[in-house]
């Protein structure tokens, strides 16, 4: 059960890190135009001078809503934002819009195929990204064995410490329900229904547009009764798309 203790400790990481502050950059152009909206059709009604620091509040395509230290707010174009400096004194680079869509995703739906205790399995799953570190996910798996078939439903919390990267590993902790139904040809076979606990690791890889490829390994403990637990492993790979 050491894996469960480790996963519980990992859950505390995002709570200890707290909410992230807005990014700050320093204006390097002689002045930066602030428009009333995200487009050149909106008038520029304010300017920010060279040397001032601004906070990046949000992004819409190639336009950024920013706020100065004096409280001025407006929208600046990417062409001017890319000439700003970070607090480390280097030029600020902005990812393309597609990558930003990936980083701001919330809902993810997908499927996967793999093996559960050596038998083929198919899984459908849906997840919701609460913040940069915590993702909640529901999985429903169907396992087709030689002597029986099984269904596993579980709810998981994923901790993704590097979620702002194209390659994003994560840790998994959850619980659920396991049901095994032996084939009718077996004599004196009975159905098994039990609660499960699960830990695991996985990797998300952002491909392009709204598509993600994933690989997962999970370790299940099936609590059949007070005196009997069984352990199973599942690995799977699959695709997801996000909104």
Q: Does residue 5 form part of some domain?
A: no
Residue 33: the pLDDT is 93
Q: How many structural domains does the chain have? A: 2
Residue 20: the pLDDT is 47
Q: CB count, 10 Å around CB of 174? A: 21
**Residue 38, phi then psi, degrees to nearest 5:** -85, 70
- Regarding whether 69 and 153 lie in a shared domain, the answer is no
- Regarding whether 233 and 120 lie in a shared domain, the answer is yes
User: Going residue by residue through the chain (243 aa), what tens digit of pLDDT does each one get?
Assistant: 454 555 455 445 544 444 446 788 999 999 999 999 998 899 999 999 999 999 999 888 789 999 998 899 999 998 898 889 888 788 877 766 566 677 778 899 999 999 999 999 999 999 999 988 899 999 999 999 888 899 999 999 999 998 878 899 999 999 999 998 887 665 566 788 999 999 999 999 998 778 999 999 999 999 988 788 999 999 999 999 987
Q: Does residue 10 form part of some domain?
A: no
- Regarding whether 229 and 115 lie in a shared domain, the answer is yes
How far from chain centre, in Å, is Cα 36? 33
**Whole-angstrom Cα distance, residue 138 to residue 240?**
13
Residue 96: the pLDDT is 61
Give the CATH number for residue 126: 2.40.160.20
Please identify, among 94, 115, 130, the residue that sits at the C-terminal boundary of a domain: 94
Q: Does residue 7 form part of some domain?
A: no
Q: Does residue 3 form part of some domain?
A: no
CB environment 75-98: b (16+ within 10 A), e (fewer) = bbbeebbeebbeeeeeebeeeeee
- Regarding whether 231 and 160 lie in a shared domain, the answer is yes
Residue 207: the pLDDT is 87
- Regarding whether 28 and 84 lie in a shared domain, the answer is yes
Structural domain for 195, as ranges: 103-242
- Regarding whether 114 and 168 lie in a shared domain, the answer is yes
Residue identified by tokens 């990267």 is 165
- Regarding whether 69 and 88 lie in a shared domain, the answer is yes
- Regarding whether 129 and 63 lie in a shared domain, the answer is no
Residue 228: the pLDDT is 87
- Regarding whether 159 and 79 lie in a shared domain, the answer is no
pTM across the whole model: 0.62
Please identify, among 94, 126, 146, the residue that sits at the C-terminal boundary of a domain: 94
């Amino acid at each position: 059960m050491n894996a469960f203790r480790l996963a519980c400790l990992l859950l505390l990481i995002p709570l200890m890190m707290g909410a992230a502050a807005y990014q700050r950059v320093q204006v390097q152009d002689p002045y930066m135009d602030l428009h009333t909206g995200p487009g050149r059709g909106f008038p520029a009604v304010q300017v920010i001078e060279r040397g001032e620091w601004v906070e990046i509040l949000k992004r819409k395509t190639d336009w950024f809503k920013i706020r100065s230290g004096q409280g001025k707010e407006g929208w600046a174009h990417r062409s001017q934002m890319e000439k700003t400096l970070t607090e480390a004194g280097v030029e600020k680079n902005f990812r393309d819009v597609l990558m930003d869509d990936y980083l701001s995703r919330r809902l993810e739906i997908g499927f996967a195929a793999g093996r559960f205790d050596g038998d083929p399995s198919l899984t459908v799953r849906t997840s919701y990204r609460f913040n940069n570190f915590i993702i909640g996910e529901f999985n429903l798996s169907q396992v087709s064995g030689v002597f029986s078939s099984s269904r596993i439903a579980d709810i998981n919390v994923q901790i993704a410490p590097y979620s702002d990267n194209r390659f994003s590993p994560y840790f998994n902790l959850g619980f659920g329900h396991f049901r095994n139904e032996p084939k009718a040809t077996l004599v004196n076979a009975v159905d098994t229904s039990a609660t499960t606990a699960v830990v695991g690791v996985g990797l998300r890889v952002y491909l392009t547009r709204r598509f993600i490829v994933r690989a997962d390994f999970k370790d299940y403990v099936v609590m059949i009764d007070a005196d009997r637990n069984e352990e199973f492993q599942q690995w799977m790979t699959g695709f997801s798309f996000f909104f």
